[in-house]
Chains A and B, each alone.
Chain A
């Protein structure tokens, strides 16, 4: 049976937080493999409901869609889908700004949520013609007579292969293959995919050792370039020149997935193993991620507690200790200051991890975000039912009943963490005990915020 520690680690990385009930559920399974299978069993979820967007104006839509997604991260039956969608949002990057209308980016995000654990190749093909991506990387202006290389280049450089494995000629070929995939713009800035065969350049060109534009249906030429990368293409430059691009692509994505879930540099044994799985399944993502989550390396002490929660991960973990919904408790406007704002990746390279988020000003913003969540936790504390925690209420009367009794105060700390559904290490508990014992009764509730900025909440 998997140990509670293992299960907690697995859940923190795949489901944003380790709800005690989930920990019990998975720890009761016969094997680690069974636990991982349960995490990945998204079929049980049906399709995730689309993100909610009802507001008429753009700024409210952004807030609404953002909070709707956070809600899903908190409440979905299979939160791994939301986690994977977050991964793709930071990998096949588009943003609301260039999307023009939140409807457009929402369409892309709903795609990542529904199919983020499907097949990489199919996902890459489908995302290429989302209006969000066509606008973000300017492929909507990539025409035979005036090619725009932005998407054609990033497809290889940032999305599938990594820089240096291809030549400028390959970039031109990729670009040409993708000409004509454009967008009809509507008055409200939404758009509709518009295939323009008259603007497409169907000239076959050498591309990663193959030829582009072979298919009779020119609309397939762009997708076929992706297929080539993930099947019979060959690297034409760099240290791996001559090697199959499907292997390079598998390694490229495996490295990124490992960084996302494990937070360290991928060990070469893991990379090799995952390559085999990816190629063996022809780039199906579920077996790929399953294999990653089953590796012993994933459970080593260097990996556990070794990933700084991204701002989104962090806020979701905080909200999971409460019974307050994302609206109003999720402070999306603090995202940029913390280093991650949903719907607005900073650039086509997405977000970093670990040290990327660790600096004084970003942490000051995290503290502000924690304070915001704590505010809602305490909204009913003074005059109402108590602190609004996930597993119940901690009332003011209970706090006052502790009087000057140190043991009672310490007991309250434990009750607080119990109601939040979290466990804290001995050093943090000792520090909180010290605070609890010495605090004035009407300052006792500061503990909520202090818990929120503890290392245990900051690191997954």
Chain B
């Protein structure tokens, strides 16, 4: 009876776990699980996006003034940096599919460099906000915005809600970037050790899905925080 079983006679490497029929099924299961996780992440960020939209609707003047105080050039550069990192991730997965170990390591390292570049630019923007006393807390002060926009009424309490959401959303996104860089350090180490082959590169692909997701969150944060309230 046992000899009739296709599983028993099939030879496979240590990368295929025994409860999967074949590598394809194992990969499909991993992809499905990763997308389920990303679905929960969409709802995680979705709550903050929802809060932002509601408060923007309520306190439109304060949100417009806060949005205009951000540096649109740094925001655009950071968007470009993240898009470049998504390219290196996509090319990295391709290198893994083709078994090009050195190219994979280089592309993973480039992704980490872009990740740090994004966080560095974000840090510069946060430091500017610190110098302007725009970080919510005891030293929060928006006299500069009241002076800059005399035509609209700005309530400092409502302005504080804008900056609370700004720091919560960009902060949560930056936390995801930091986790992503950490993941990619592991991936780089194991890629360098030669663990990933054209038959087994699932961790590279899953790490890539995570990185692209974090990129997409920024693709929506950028217009919401920087772009849509520059007039009126």
Chain B associates with chain A: no
